[in-house]
Amino acid sequence: MKNIEADQHHQVIVIGAGPGGICTAVKLREAGIEDFILLEKADGVGGTWWHNRYPGAECDVKSHLYSFSFEIKRDWSRPFAGQAEILEYMQHCAEKYGVLRHCRFGQQVKAARWNEKSARWEVETADARRYTCSFLVSAMGMFNELQWPDFPGVDVFKGTLFHSARWDHAADIRGKRIAVIGSAASAVQFVPEIAPHAARLHLFQRTANWVAPKEDTPYTAEELDHYRSDPDAIHASRRQIYEELNGFILFNNPETQAENEAAGLANIDVVADPELRRKLRPNHPFGCKRPLFSNRYYPVFNLPQVELVTDPIERITETGVMTRDGVEREVDVVVIATGFQVGRYLSAIEVTGRGGQGIEDAWSDGAQAYLGITTHGFPNLFMLYGPNTNNGSILFMLERQVEYLVRKIQHVQAARIDWIDVRADIESGYNADMQRDIRKVEVWKANCGHYYNAASGRMVTQWPHDLNEYTARTGASDEAAYETAVAG
């Protein structure tokens, strides 16, 4: 990206048109800022809800709260909405609030470099389009780079193989022998959908997860009429879900923890085979890994065509999956359900800040950012769903982050300065405190193989407090936390 001549300059460029990008666009327009674009690699808005279209995909936060406060939807069909309904909601928001005209679809950002002379970000897409902007917002979040298993053979299998996050809907898997590699969030949702139609399904489980019951009975016509007709009903529901979630995400109440584990174990009890129940029982405390929710997952193991495999995988062969005990299970279809490289965040693209420093170098010890939003050495750069902001309802967290970055943009404009950059000592102190508070969460200390940690051992994904605390921190005045450069 040397000597780049930009095709276009905009005040703000947002990377991604998922929930974070949509929220940013709405709030920028609300603030009177119209000179911005969203660069989105997909052909439409929705982010993770655009890409993750596997059977049974749904949210694990109740939809009355997993929705924007500025666009209340009163007619969610059920407490935990499915992918199609959530995507429709996101598309509705983008259309209603005039976001679509700011979107540039099919443009995957390849690199971004801070130009110290011009005090602008230079952005390049995979198809060689070039832009500059005064402010850069990453709405990429955590779920970008697919996580592929590290055993050999993924490229030699002669049947149908795909990642669950990029489901191959053209593949006819009915009546086929299927291997599912992975048993976490996506598998818990799609396995009950496909297992009844498989000739044989082998589920390869490395670590048993807690799968709690899910209160997800579709709303009745009477309930929907109540939410539509009573202006306070949906807000009361949001408040109740918020309070319940605020207590749940801390994992620090022994009585609540015991209740959660008891509910999870009772959920497993529907499995008829006692040996299977033993293999499905987690050996780590509830909350050590991401808690999962389903009423349909465990009954799958009573189907005669379903096998739970706990022997480690040695490799994928041309015709199936071989475990370390030398057994090869021949299959027609392999579904990889191993999630995402969640700790990469913005480093999934090439980002260069002040002094030519790459963000991967700045994050050599693991991704970190002040308030999870901004990193020293990268001026006028803001991240949504960034390091250590994963907990509770991400849409609630996104709204707080967007409110914060819009205030910062307005401050730069009002103060007639070129840029702001969080001070190194402020960021360092914030993240030291963050890791200290993370170490106080007892359930995260257990050895359960969660995705929360970077290679260094630093926990880079989780927020260790409640939603009220994040609201307070992002709402506080903190101009002294930033270095500034005054316009000449």
Tens of pLDDT along the chain (488 residues)?
A: 444 444 699 999 999 999 999 999 999 999 999 999 999 999 999 999 999 999 999 999 999 999 999 999 999 999 999 999 999 999 999 999 999 999 999 999 999 999 999 999 999 999 999 999 999 999 998 877 888 998 999 999 999 999 999 999 999 999 999 999 999 999 999 999 999 999 999 999 999 999 999 999 999 999 999 999 998 999 999 999 999 999 999 999 999 999 999 999 999 999 999 999 999 999 999 999 999 999 999 999 999 999 999 999 999 999 999 999 999 999 999 999 999 888 888 888 999 999 999 999 999 999 999 999 999 999 999 999 999 999 999 999 999 999 999 999 999 999 999 999 999 999 999 999 999 999 999 999 988 888 899 989 999 999 999 999 999 999 999 999 999 998 55
* 159 CB-near residues (< 8 Å, 6+ apart): 319, 331, 332, 333, 334
Tokens of 151: 């055993």
Write out the DSSP string of 217-236. PPPPHHHHHHHHH-TTHHHH
Which of 336, 368, 389 is where one domain is finished? 336
d(CA 282, CA 405): 40
**Do 345 and 322 belong to one domain?**
no
Nearest CA-CA partner of 176 in 197, 203, 154, 157: 197
Q: Which residues is 334 bridged to in the sheet? A: 161, 179
Q: Which residues is 136 bridged to in the sheet? A: 13, 381
- Residue 134 maps to a domain: yes
Q: Give the H or E element holding residue 9.
A: strand 8-15
Give the pLDDT of residue 3. 40
Q: What are phi and psi of 232, to 5 degrees?
A: -95, -15
Nearest CA-CA partner of 398 in 80, 152, 47: 47
Q: How many CA atoms lie within 13 A of 324 on its CB side?
A: 7
**Do 356 and 315 belong to one domain?**
no
- Residue 223 maps to a domain: no
- Residue 150 maps to a domain: no
- Residue 271 maps to a domain: yes
Number of domains in the chain: 2
Asked if residues 344 and 145 have their Cβ atoms less than 8 Å apart, the reply is: yes
**Do 188 and 320 belong to one domain?**
yes
**Do 114 and 203 belong to one domain?**
no
**Do 201 and 349 belong to one domain?**
no
* 284 CB-near residues (< 8 Å, 6+ apart): 207, 443, 446, 447, 448
CA dihedral defined by 171, 172, 178, 183, rounded to 10 degrees? Answer: 60
Tokens of 358: 């790459």
- In the three-class reduction of DSSP (H, G, I as helix; E, B as strand; rest coil), residue 352 is classed as strand
Q: Record the pTM.
A: 0.95
Tokens of 165: 């996050």
Residue 419 sits in which domain range? 8-145+341-486
Which of 283, 309, 336 is where one domain is finished? 336
d(CA 367, CA 454): 8
Give the pLDDT of residue 2. 40
Give the pLDDT of residue 488. 52
Name the residue type at position 324. R
Tokens of 183: 């048993």
Strand ranges inside 126-214, DSSP E: 130-138, 160-163, 177-181, 200-204, 211-212
**Do 81 and 169 belong to one domain?**
no
d(CA 396, CA 471): 9
**Do 80 and 118 belong to one domain?**
yes
Report in angstroms the alpha-carbon separations of 63 from 69, 146, 296, 357, 384. Answer: 12, 26, 19, 41, 20
d(CA 176, CA 180): 12
